[in-house]
Amino acid sequence: MAADSSRGSGRFPTTHWSVVGRAAGSQGKSAAAPAALADLIRTYMPALRAHLVGAMRLNPHQADDALQGFLTDRVLERNTLALANEQRGRFRNFLLTALERFVIDEHRRASARKRSPSTSVVDVHEHESAIPSPPAPPDLFERAWAGEVLREVLRRTRQECIASGRSHLWEVFEARILLPVTDGLPVPSHEALCQRLKLGSPVQAANALGSAKRVFRRNFRSVVAEYAADESEIDEEIRELWAIFSSPRA
């Protein structure tokens, strides 16, 4: 999985609580609210969708409908973001809980009235067994979120290496660290990389890898710092993300 530069050149949308507050003001009060809300949606929707499909067992079309209904009914019309509270935990967990409640509420409403294809955003009446009770553990959601973070870290790492005129740092990192994990490619020797990248010696290739790792770690912390509340949460989040990356898939 090479870094995907097509995902855009902008920064990872922050979810500092000030940004959440601006998004919560999206019912016409704040000029900055629509942009803040768009950032939040773009950041969290892939992970929320993965949870709907994997944990709540909606098919992809139902998941898309559920997300659209959630955004329209809860986020825009009811301004659910105004209920988010920094003291009560991570913002993404707040969103996940709100989404689960929305889907379950839709199911209950559908069960209480005559079945009609046009009366519910998601026709969960036919999929009662797909609604977990209690909700399934958010493993898929956390994995999807970790993937979003990693993609942004890799994008920034690649961009920084190229912008600083040290593209060979990224190429060494990609060849020895990234592609063996994502694509199952063999790890090339430093000697082979010297020939491929026209480096002076295997030592230079090893030094390039060390430098690339430092760039990666710096960008990793920078991305997490844009949505974690403080230094202690940054450290905790980094530990949890590494645990997710290291754990085998079920």
The confidence score (pLDDT) of residue 76 equals 74
Domain boundary among 105, 136, 167: 136
Domain that holds residue 225: 141-246
DSSP structure string for 187-228? PPPHHHHHHHHT-S-HHHHHHHHHHHHHHHHHHHHHHHHTTS
Name the residue type at position 154: L
Question: What tokens were used for 14?
Answer: 């922050």
Question: What tokens were used for 59?
Answer: 């098919």
Domain boundary among 100, 116, 136: 136
135, pLDDT greater than 80: no
Question: What tokens were used for 115?
Answer: 């079945």
- Spatial CA neighbour of 156 closest among 212, 108, 195, 114: 212
Mean pLDDT of 194-211: 95
> Which has the minimum average pLDDT: 57-61, 154-158, 190-194, 228-232?
228-232
Give the number of domains in the chain. Answer: 2
Distances from the Cα of 24 to the Cα of 15, 30, 90, 105, 141, angstroms:
12, 9, 16, 22, 23
d(CA 224, CA 92): 13
The confidence score (pLDDT) of residue 155 equals 96
d(CA 7, CA 16): 21
Do 31 and 70 share a structural domain?
A: yes
> Which has the minimum average pLDDT: 43-57, 126-140, 183-197, 211-225?
126-140
Q: Report helix, strand or coil for 166.
A: coil
Mean pLDDT of 121-126: 49
Domain boundary among 82, 113, 136: 136
The confidence band for 66, taking pLDDT boundaries of 50, 70 and 90, is: very high
The confidence score (pLDDT) of residue 78 equals 81
Q: Encode pLDDT of 45-65 as tens digits.
A: 899 999 999 888 899 999 999
Do 184 and 88 share a structural domain?
A: no
Do 72 and 167 share a structural domain?
A: no
Do 209 and 91 share a structural domain?
A: no
